[in-house]
Amino acid sequence: MTINPKIQQQIINYLQQCRFRALCDDFLWTIKGSSILSGTYYNKEEFFSKVIDRLSNVLLPGWKMHVLGTYLTDNTFIVEMRGEVTAKNGKDYNNEYC
């Protein structure tokens, strides 16, 4: 079974609009690197409590997500993105996600 193009586009739209809570419950999110947030998150609740909620406390509103590429294999849809936002301390907080 493959993910139909309409669902793929809906996922991309949610990501670009930073509407992460609207994403499906069954997803995998990996943050590369060695920061306290780095790691692989296997469900939405863990991801929000350990990453999004934590970041919301130190980042300014106005997150921007740019899709760099998408990949589809069987029933797995992979989205590669670059995030841009400014921290409350004035520094840029830009990362790449997949």
Alpha helix segments (H runs only) across the chain: 5-16, 44-47, 53-56
pLDDT tens-digit map of 8-36: 999 999 999 988 888 767 778 888 889 89
pLDDT tens-digit map of 32-85: 889 899 999 998 888 889 998 999 999 999 999 999 999 998 888 899 999 999
Q: What is the DSSP letter of 16?
A: H
Alpha-carbon gap, residue 38 to 79, rounded angstroms: 17
3-state helix, strand, coil in the chain (%, to 5): 30, 35, 40
pLDDT at residue 1, rounded to an integer? 65
pLDDT at residue 2, rounded to an integer? 76
Q: How far apart are the first and last CA of the chain?
A: 22
